[in-house]
Amino acid sequence: MPSLLHTHSPWGPTDQIGAGNLLTVEKRLAALALVRHGRIYDVSHEIYMGAPYMAPNQTPFLMSIFGSWRDTINRRRKMGATNDAGTNLERIEMTAHVGTHIDALGHFSNGDMLYNGNSAADVVTDWGLDRLGIEHAPPMITRAVLFDVGGAAHLAPGQTITPDDLKRAADAGGFAVEAGDIALIRTGWGRFFGADNARYLEGEPGIDVPAAKWLIDQGIVAIGADNMAIEVLPNPNKGLMLPVHQFALAECGVYLIENLALEELVAAHIYAGCFVLLATKIRGATGAPVRPILMV
Ligand SMILES: [Zn+2]
């Protein structure tokens, strides 16, 4: 892998948004022109206690009510209030990588190297990433294309999606990839999200580096899938773990969108549309939960 790595981004030595540079005004207007019916497809899952997570690297989503109506009313009565205004407020603890989320470019390294020649030793601090955090990800309003490779049901864990599989899916969907697109890959594996977490987490069908390269060579901004890691798990090469993350994020500056819900799109035979994803700007975070939609 190290021999493949670029030390510099094509977008200059200070670039922190990677393939986000391909999100031009022209691309945005063309995507918005695809909206003819005003229909919205929500391609995210809910985030909740019980959503799958990959222990031990990922921690579970935890939420509890920290301030509740009863106690806030009591406190306010003691302060002289008579209108019994009760507040409900929660406290949440989570990694940004549970549920439907986007990975920041600084989420993965190759050794010490992060995207665009940044040294992890310089960038990663106890309180977050000094560069390449998710706050730098631009608003994504662009065309998304859906590669349905899952067929009538789903592919198997450990099954690799090849460039040829993607080409066939593009032909079947009636589209050709264009620069600035976002690729959505439907494997069928998403049906197990929250329904059978043990199975969802035991492995997954997904792309390997050749399919990622095929997409990225055509100017893809982000790759999303209905699985937890985009890429085939386990990798067929036992000597590689998560090479697509290294290739897309650290080498190419291409974002990954994980745990998507794509069954509704497939059922409606929607293979292209205007995709909208706005990542919450959590400073220095390695990702963010998102609620992407596709409009047609
Ligand atoms: Zn992630």
Q: For the segment 90-106, what is each residue's pLDDT rounded down to a tens digit?
A: 999 999 999 999 999 99
What is the 97 CA–ligand 1 centroid distance (Å)?
Answer: 4
User: Distance from the CA of 103 to the center of ligand 1, in angstroms?
Assistant: 5
In the reported structure, the alpha carbon of residue 27 is separated from the centroid of ligand 1 by a whole-number distance in angstroms of: 26
Model confidence band, residue 183 (pLDDT cutoffs 50, 70, 90): very high
pLDDT at 128: 98
CATH domain 2-47+96-295 topology: Glucose Oxidase; domain 1 (3.50.30)
Is residue 8 very low, low, confident or very high in pLDDT (cuts 50, 70, 90)?
Answer: confident
Threshold 0.85, pTM exceeds: yes
pLDDT reported for residue 152: 87
> Residue range 263-286: average pLDDT?
98
Q: Give the per-residue pLDDT at 1.
A: 37
Tracing tokens 């090849």 back to the chain, one arrives at 162
Rounded to an integer, the average pLDDT of 269-291 is: 98
Q: Give residue 15 CA to ligand 1 midpoint distance, Å.
A: 21
Residue type, position 261, single letter: A
- Distance CA(87)–CA(36), nearest Å, equals 42
The arithmetic mean of pLDDT across residues 38-62, rounded, is: 94
Q: Output the CA 99–ligand 1 centroid distance in Å.
A: 9
Q: Give the distance (Å) from ligand 1 centre to CA of residue 273.
A: 24
Contacts of 265 (CB under 8 A, 6+ apart): 41, 43, 146, 184, 186, 271, 294
Structural contact between residues 118 and 132, judged by C-beta atoms closer than 8 angstroms = yes
The rounded Å distance from CA 98 to ligand 1 centre is 8
Q: Report residues near ion ligand 1: CB below 5 Å.
A: 97, 103, 258, 287
Residues 132 and 37: their CA atoms lie apart, in Å, by 37
* Distance from Cα 75 to the centre of ligand 1, integer Å: 41
CA 229 to ligand 1 center in whole angstroms = 7
Q: Cα(82) to centroid of ligand 1, in Å?
A: 47
Give distance in angstroms: CA of 279 to centre of ligand 1.
13
Dihedrals phi, psi of 264, to nearest 5 degrees: -65, -40
Sort residue 109 into left (φ over 0), alpha (ψ -120 to 50) or beta: beta
What separation in Å is there between the alpha carbon of 290 and the centre of ligand 1? 11
pLDDT digits (tens, 9 = 90+) for 185-202: 999 999 999 999 999 999
Centre of ligand 1 to C-alpha 102, Å, is: 6
pLDDT at 36: 98
More confident residue, 105 or 9: 105
Taking the centre of ligand 1 as the mean of its atom positions, its distance from the CA of residue 67, in whole angstroms, is: 30
- In the reported structure, the alpha carbon of residue 233 is separated from the centroid of ligand 1 by a whole-number distance in angstroms of 14
The number of residues making up the chain comes to 296
**Model pLDDT for residues 64-76, shown as the tens digit of each residue:** 999 999 999 999 9
Distance in Å, CA 250 to ligand 1 centroid: 13
pLDDT value at residue 9: 85
Cα 226 to averaged position of ligand 1 atoms, centre (Å): 12
212 CA from centroid of ligand 1 (Å): 16
Q: What are the backbone angles phi and psi of residue 207, rounded to the nearest 5°?
A: -80, 160
Distance between Cα 234 and ligand 1 center (Å): 16
Q: How far is CA 233 from the centre of its chain?
A: 17
Domain boundaries, the chain: 2-47+96-295, 62-93
How close is the Cα of 139 to the center of ligand 1, in Å? 18
Q: What is the pLDDT of residue 2?
A: 40
Q: How far apart are CA 146 and CA 88, in angstroms?
A: 40
